[in-house]
Amino acid sequence: CFQQIRGFGSYGFPESHAAAFSQLVYVSSWIKKYHPAAFAAALLNSQPMGFYAPAQIVRDAQEHGTEIRPVDVNFSHYDNTLEQIEGHAPAMRIGFRQLDGVKENDAYALVARRGAGYTSVSDMRERGRVPSPFLRKLADADAFQSLQQDRREALWQVRRLPNDHVLPLFAAAQARELGDEPDAELPPMPLGEHVTADYQTARLSLKSHPMQILRP
């Protein structure tokens, strides 16, 4: 043990190391103060880092005045990005990379085929050629809000779609069945279930903090 400590002491924290680290701290602190949205996005895009969880980074950015926008099929990119707001500091849009199990290639393909925006879950499947597993992950993450569908409605729509590899005869039959099936009137999902699902899919929630539900 003594030999290891003595060996580390010979190079661990010399003056040059301290000077270099202090410069990084100063630059990081300046960016965090004057460009908090860019700072948060950069930290999230550099994950995993081992220091702070995504939920802590997002919470800190919100407490310093940054607007955080949820992941959305029509606005998000793979990375976390900035969205300009006229006359105000930019907002940060959560990217698809924050969702567990999302493949980078699938996210880039979804964005490349998005054009002026998707109009429905079926549009994403037909025009965007988004695979079923990815659609389910997006629905689980409540990423269809721009399509006026909450998590439960989107899950219902996604699970009605046929699988990726269906023989033509069965695909035609399923298409007719989907067209004739009435929409189900699903009850709204309680806030607690939304927050739980958010943490299960993205490890953070913009809807509420778990303690806000438990505190009463």
CA-CA distances (angstroms) from residue 72 to 109, 146, 162? 15, 7, 23
* Residues 193, 21: Cα–Cα separation, whole Å: 43
Say what the pTM is.
0.78
Whether the per-residue pLDDT at 9 is higher than 70: the answer is: yes
CA-CA distances (angstroms) from residue 128 to 63, 132, 157, 209? 36, 11, 16, 34
Which of helix, strand or coil describes residue 90? strand
pLDDT tens digits along 145-190: 999 988 888 888 888 777 655 446 555 555 555 555 566 677 888 8
Under 8 Å between Cβ of 142 and 196: no
Whether the per-residue pLDDT at 49 is higher than 90: the answer is: no
pLDDT tens digits along 100-156: 999 999 999 999 999 999 998 888 888 888 888 899 999 999 999 999 988 888 888
pLDDT tens digits along 56-111: 999 999 999 999 999 999 999 999 999 999 889 999 999 999 999 999 999 999 99
